[in-house]
Structure 1
Amino acid sequence: MAWTARLKGLRAGAERRFPVLAELAARLLSANLLDAATRLAAQAFLACVPLLFAIAAFAPRGVRDQLSDSLRSLFGLTGPAEQQVQQVLTPSADGSLKDTTGIIGLAIVLISATSFSRAMSRVCERAWRLPKAGARIAAWRWVVWLLALVVVVLVQGPVREGFGVGLWLGTPLVFLVGIGVWLWTQHLLLAGRVGWLPLLPGALLTSAALTALSLTARLYMPGALNRSLAEYGSLGLVLVLLSWLIVVSAAITFAVTIGAVLAQEPSLRRHPTTRARPGARKP
């Protein structure tokens, strides 16, 4: 029993000396972050597929071409994988896809896709240990965030290429844009209950993680997608994309949570962190 007591003493000493690390370990172990990341990835996939078909049916050709270029730049698409994307984004000449989808179908797609926004909201709320915001306050934020995310994906191509200069400029631009996106994302989906400054560590960590993953995606994804298409057909494409989304979602979930813990350091506690909002309710 002596060694057990010694271990407890070492743990207590570590918690006194490094309270941030102790709190971070406790938060990461108690929040089921891997489960949250898996759910976030599943909702992202379920939102992206119908949105892709909706854009193919209703968006002008310039928007479809821009989306194709951005996806090619994001994943380094080549060969069969690129052809699959082009096939989805090129609607039939007779407009049958638009007739099948319809305005009502487009509205249903948009509403169902907000499940991704809701999952992202839950990730942010769990990171900050906040209750769920009331639906009346949060609903419009889910739609706005989803539409803004589509715009961010659309501009990924030129940003990643440094507007024609190259990756040496594009990579820092992606990082800087990511900071702004994830700072705004947290503030919006938390319904303004956390001040801007405390959200900065999470935005920095998330942007850094996603920038690093975007660089590896250009190296890994083209070969993985084309091999899966050759061996398993479209199902292989789904499996690879879902696996990648799980990695990305895990990076987002952990980065936002770590950022929330770091933001509650004593040096930042003098700044306003959370504010009560009407309509918030207990989870």
Structure 2
Amino acid sequence: MDVAALRERVTTTYHARRDQAMELLDRVPILGRLVNDFIKIEFIDRCMLIAAQGLLALIPMLVVLTAFFPHATSDVVRVFSQATGVGSNGTQLLEGEVTTGQVRTQTGIFGFLITIFSATSFARAIQRMYERIWDQPHVGGVSGAQRCLLWLLGWMLTLQIIGALRRIGDGVGGILGDGVGIVVQALLLSVIWWATSWVLLFGRVAWSQLALGALLTGVIGVVYNRGASVLMPPYVKANADQFGTLGVILAVSTWLIGFAAIMVGSALVGRVVTEDPTVRGVVRRVWRREPEDGTAAPPPAG
């Protein structure tokens, strides 16, 4: 085997593919900006940070809320377990480690408040992600903490609403019920992330500019959750059989990384597409019904 010839062929192929990729980026400016922005915001690091904050902040918060308010947070836990694919078996495995009485006794009111406040770190990670994507300075301090806590409480409330809608959809059943349920969930999630981006950016970016990113997050998020509900349970079970509770936590962290990638990628694509001059020109012409020459179309008769 001629190693030198093989190395030369591999190097030649690599340079040829690199030149083709660079030519494509030069030919399609929006694609080049997407690649540059994904690198600029440190896409992988941003996803890992959001997933880590979600794992370290949300899981303890859900455990504590379930212990103190089991009936009020039942839908939240159910929606989260269904989305991550943990299911009833994984939830029972986690709950088997501690009892609600132990959590209430060992946590106390002061510990409960600290847990809720610590959970805002998840919201702060999302806030920094939106600020990084939209090139906005970070808003911290008391006002930032208050806004993150407000968003966290609103997010918990919307999970309750999603749980109620899912029960209604399950009651209808059939293909029609599933189709309507998917559409309603996609629209609801899009509205949630639309409001999320506006709230965590402190209204510094217009609603219209945030719409596409929120829509992508909602639609892709529903598809991701539906796929996870099928693929994740066997993965969770295999991890639980091999590693016990740690295996369930590892499976949840995998789901969180995937959903964080959807959030970051959708927000970034939403900004790049919305600000692209070609896309804006097409939207402007369609909105004003202008022909290609730029002259406005005559108003409809009557």
* 1:88-127 pair list within 5 angstroms: 91-92=100-101, 96-127=102-133
Which runs of no fewer than 5 residues in structure 2 stay unpaired?
A: 1-14, 285-302
Question: Do structure 1's residue 51 and structure 2's residue 58 form an aligned pair?
Answer: no
Q: For residues 99 and 9 of structure 1, do their structure 2 counterparts lie closer, same or farther at Cα, with a shift above 3 Å needed?
A: closer
Number of the residue aligned with 2:4: none
Q: For residues 149 and 12 of structure 1, do their structure 2 counterparts lie closer, same or farther at Cα, with a shift above 3 Å needed?
A: same
Question: Do structure 1's residue 67 and structure 2's residue 73 form an aligned pair?
Answer: no
Q: For residues 136 and 66 of structure 1, do their structure 2 counterparts lie closer, same or farther at Cα, with a shift above 3 Å needed?
A: closer
One-letter amino acid of the counterpart of residue 54, structure 2: A
What's the offset of the Cα at 1:14? 5.0
Kept after mapping to 1: 8 A contact 2:94/2:245: no
What's the offset of the Cα at 1:154? 2.6
One-letter amino acid of the counterpart of residue 189, structure 1: L
Kept after mapping to 2: 8 A contact 1:203/1:256: yes
What's the offset of the Cα at 1:74? 2.8
- Partner SS for 1:155: helix
One-letter amino acid of the counterpart of residue 160, structure 1: R
Number of the residue aligned with 2:221: 210
TM-score (norm 1): 0.82
Distance 1:20 1:78 in 2: 41
* 1:1-283 pair list within 5 angstroms: 11=22, 14-15=25-26, 17-59=27-69, 61-75=70-84, 77-78=86-87, 80-84=89-93, 87=96, 91-92=100-101, 96-163=102-169, 164-166=171-173, 167-266=178-277, 268=280
Number of the residue aligned with 2:295: none
Which runs of no fewer than 5 residues in structure 1 stay unpaired?
A: 272-283
Number of the residue aligned with 2:293: none
One-letter amino acid of the counterpart of residue 63, structure 1: A
Kept after mapping to 2: 8 A contact 1:225/1:240: yes
Q: For residues 174 and 85 of structure 1, do their structure 2 counterparts lie closer, same or farther at Cα, with a shift above 3 Å needed?
A: farther
One-letter amino acid of the counterpart of residue 118, structure 2: S
| Percentage of matched positions with identical amino acids | 29
- Partner SS for 2:119: helix
What's the offset of the Cα at 1:90? 6.2
Bigger relative CO (Cα 8 Å, ≥ 6 apart): 1
What's the offset of the Cα at 1:216? 0.7
What's the offset of the Cα at 1:134? 4.1
What's the offset of the Cα at 1:120? 0.3
Distance 2:21 2:112 in 1: 58
TM-score (norm 2): 0.77
Q: For residues 55 and 46 of structure 1, do their structure 2 counterparts lie closer, same or farther at Cα, with a shift above 3 Å needed?
A: same
- Tell which deviates more after alignment, 131-140 or 224-233: 131-140
Number of the residue aligned with 1:277: none
One-letter amino acid of the counterpart of residue 129, structure 1: D
Q: For residues 46 and 79 of structure 1, do their structure 2 counterparts lie closer, same or farther at Cα, with a shift above 3 Å needed?
A: closer
Q: For residues 157 and 90 of structure 1, do their structure 2 counterparts lie closer, same or farther at Cα, with a shift above 3 Å needed?
A: farther
Distance 2:65 2:46 in 1: 28
Matched positions, count: 261
